[in-house]
Amino acid sequence: ETGVTQTPRHLVMGMTNKKSLKCEQHLGHNAMYWYKQSAKKPLELMFVYSLEERVENNSVPSRFSPECPNSSHLFLHLHTLQPEDSALYLCASSPSFFRSGANVLTFGAGSRLTVL
């Protein structure tokens, strides 16, 4: 398998549930990202990992907890979410974390989350 793979593609959860989103990249990239895409709003960067170290955290509520066990895998652990957290969560990877700005991101297909 190639590219960036996200599972599950769709997830429905209650406000008291605990679930996780998984992202896997087979591109040999060193940086991985979580983005949130809500209806009619621009993509919002949530977390960035470079070589398994978190380098950016854009003031995301603690009910979202990322984990990067190695450079190929990225998780987003979800706990006690709110209905307004319903969105498309996109994972992306790039050869390295933006320093020169020359890297192109490869995106996964996304995980559609609905919080009831």
Give the interface with other proteins as residue ranges (CB under 8 A).
4, 6, 40-43, 45, 48, 56, 58, 88, 90, 92, 98, 100-102, 104-110, 112
Q: Token pair for residue 77?
A: 């652990």
Closest to 35 in 3D by CA, of 21, 25, 18: 21
Q: How far is the CB of 52 from other proteins (least distance, A)?
A: 19
Q: How far is the CB of 3 from other proteins (least distance, A)?
A: 9
**Based on CB atoms, which residue is closest to other proteins, 18 or 44?**
44
The neighbour count for residue 86, using CB atoms within 10 Å, is: 17
**Based on CB atoms, which residue is closest to other proteins, 97 or 115?**
97
Are the C-beta atoms of residues 101 and 22 closer than 8 Å to each other?
no
Strands 64-70 and 73-79 come out as: antiparallel
Q: How far is the CB of 45 from other proteins (least distance, A)?
A: 5
Q: How far is the CB of 30 from other proteins (least distance, A)?
A: 16
**Based on CB atoms, which residue is closest to other proteins, 72 or 80?**
72
HSE-CB for 59 with a 13 A CA cutoff: 1
